[in-house]
Amino acid sequence: MGTVEHTAGGAILMDGKMVRDELIAQLAVTVESEGSPEITLATVLVGDDKPSKVYVGSKRKKAVEAGLQSRHVELGADATQAEVEGAVAELVNDPAIHGILVQLPLPDGLDAEAVLNLIPPEKDVDGLTERSMGRLVRGKAGHVPCTPLGVMRLLERYEIPTSGAKAVVIGRSTLVGLPQVLLLGRKGCDATVTLAHSRTADLVSVCRDADIIVAAAGMARLVTAEHVKPGAAVLDVGISRTEAGIVGDVDFDSVQEVAGAITPMPGGTGPMTIACLMQNTYAAYHMLKA
């Protein structure tokens, strides 16, 4: 399993930063072994949202570390739908671009779905378009959304058994919860998955039965020790900006006392999202070449 750290309570710490760095270093070696072809990830940023700027900045930096090229397109907060769609269409038609990432959310008034759906499945390295989702549902080759894919990579890296395991995913968005359910439940992974959401009755008992909990609700410290079966793996996707700083969906301090494995927040699923974006961009290059 390689290096493994434990929390004070004895749970395995699923260290997303460390695994991200491992995956990016491996990718850099692979790209170099193929003669360092120019594999380019294009990022599109619209407006002045500060967290979005930070996210795009770290994606561009990690692309370079992975041996990939980065192209960046930035439009002002007053960009029209036609301007944003035009910028994305240019990248779609540019054979030097292999992956396109449109940083969300777009400023109010812009139709993000219409923009995303311009991206063909091969270049949709974020896996968020209708066609990519359709491929995931049907089990066809395509890119899988990076955040739920990052959760799967952490489960693999820390050898958390999934076959026959009971998993609960909290949240049903197309960005995280729904694809997470599909990935955990698909053949080869073989978990039995329960999808929880804001109308779920008695979340505590739903979760307490689970071997794996993926929390993607965006509700600060929603999951506490009472939700967790001793020994379960708990992966925190949620990000809430509170007065006390950035907080996850999991109450780390109490949960790490009972869990068998837990992600830190920050430093868990977030860095894995970036690693998976780089892996998807590499895969995109080969899909487009085939």
Q: Which residues of the shown chain bind ligand NAP in the complex (CB under 6 A)?
A: 147, 170-173, 175-177, 196-200, 203, 216-219, 222, 237-240, 269-270, 273
User: What is the distance between the alpha carbons of residues 95 and 6, in angstroms, rounded to a whole number?
Assistant: 46
- Rounded least distance, CB 83 to ligand NAP, Å: 25
How is residue 110 written in tokens?
Answer: 């812009």
Which of 88, 216 has the CB closer to ligand NAP?
216
Residue number, 195 or 288, with CB nearest to ligand NAP: 195
> Would residue 59 show up in a list of annotated catalytic residues for this protein?
yes
Strand duo 166-170 + 192-196: pairing = parallel
Q: Choosing from 126, 211, 236, 249, which is the catalytic residue?
A: 126
Q: What are phi and psi of 9, to 5 degrees?
A: -80, -5
Q: How far is the CB of 59 from ligand NAP (least distance, A)?
A: 11
Closest CB to ligand NAP among 121 and 171?
A: 171
Task: Name the catalytic one among 103, 180, 256, 279.
Answer: 103
Closest CA to 168 of 235, 213, 228, 230: 213
- SS3 of 132-179: the string is HHHHHHHCCCCCCCHHHHHHHHHHHHCCCCCCCCEEEEECCCCCCHHH
Question: Is residue 202 annotated as part of the catalytic site, yes or no?
Answer: no
Closest contact distance (angstroms) between CB of 188 and ligand NAP is 23
Q: Which parts of 30-121 are beta strand (E)?
A: 40-46, 69-75, 99-102
Nearest distance, CB of residue 216 and ligand NAP, angstroms: 4
Strand ordering across the sheet containing 40-46: 69-75, 40-46, 99-102
Give CA angle at 181 (175, 186), nearest 5°: 125
Is 126 a known active-site residue?
Answer: yes
Looking at the Cβ atoms of 168 and 287, the one nearer to ligand NAP is 168
Residues marked active site are found at 59, 103, 126
